[in-house]
Amino acid sequence: MPNPFDLTGKVAVVTGANTGIGQAIALALAEAGADVACVGRTPAEETVAKVRALGRRAEIVSADLSTIEPVQRIVDEAVEKLGGLDILVNNAGIIRRADAVDFTEEDWDAVVDTNLKSVFFLCQAAGKHMIANGGGKIINIASMLTFQGGIRVPSYTASKSGIGGLTKLLANEWATKGVNVNAIAPGYIATNNTAALQADEVRNKAILDRIPAGHWGNPSDLGGAAVFLASGAADYVQGHILAVDGGWLAR
């Protein structure tokens, strides 16, 4: 019986692939057999080297997703360099922290443009290719704040809530066209984006007290969920937001 999680012959684009969650997902997809275009504002040289060490093809696609300027080029370079585009993982994102009463328009626009606007237009560009070529899998990276409000991160919360709605909208439109659109909502994962929370004794304790697993997650904890949603095993999964959170939402 064929392995439903086998990604051999598939080409994946992973944004924000140079570190953290993006790197972990790129490596997990490669371990399952996929070739990977590693997109990042900072060239993902380490990730590419690790993917190639697994025997898969990998290419760097340099792009700053604070604007939609590079969106079509990302798709075009992946297709040109690796021969196709079957899987898109929208992981690139930023966060800005301040009290809501002090939050600036600059910080609002920077986060929403990167975390939501560019995600939509990259989904659009990849979706056009996938629809024309028999289908594909799109995985957006949501957040616990897709479900909850958070504090001191208004634009991040708005953008990640938007990711949840966008994921469902695209699933509704593209399910009959062979494109599966789903999302992963990481819990509290130890990355650069969460360094400030980990360093804050009060907030760190409050977070750990609520996680049934009792510890922060590692980026590698998201790899299995990404492989599942990228694979044939998830062919009938549409518009779902899969929480990988150590039980956070269950408490």
The one catalytic residue in 23, 89, 146, 156 is 156
* Of 216, 223, 220, the residue nearest 245 (C-alpha): 216
Confirm whether 156 is a catalytic residue. yes
Write down the residue that tokens 């994962």 correspond to.
189
195: confidence class by pLDDT, cuts 50, 70, 90: confident
* Of 95, 177, 80, the residue nearest 143 (C-alpha): 95
pLDDT tens sequence across 7-43? 999 999 999 999 999 999 999 999 999 999 999 999 9
3-state secondary structure of 20: helix
pTM of the model: 0.97
State mean pLDDT over 115-127: 98
- Architecture of the domain delimited by 11-241: 3-Layer(aba) Sandwich (3.40)
Query: Residue 58: left if φ>0, alpha if ψ -120 to 50, beta else—which one?
Result: beta
Residue 96, Cβ density class (10 Å: 0-12 exposed, 13-18 middle, ≥19 buried): middle
Count the alpha carbons within 13 Å of 115 in the hemisphere toward its beta carbon. Answer: 27
194: confidence class by pLDDT, cuts 50, 70, 90: confident
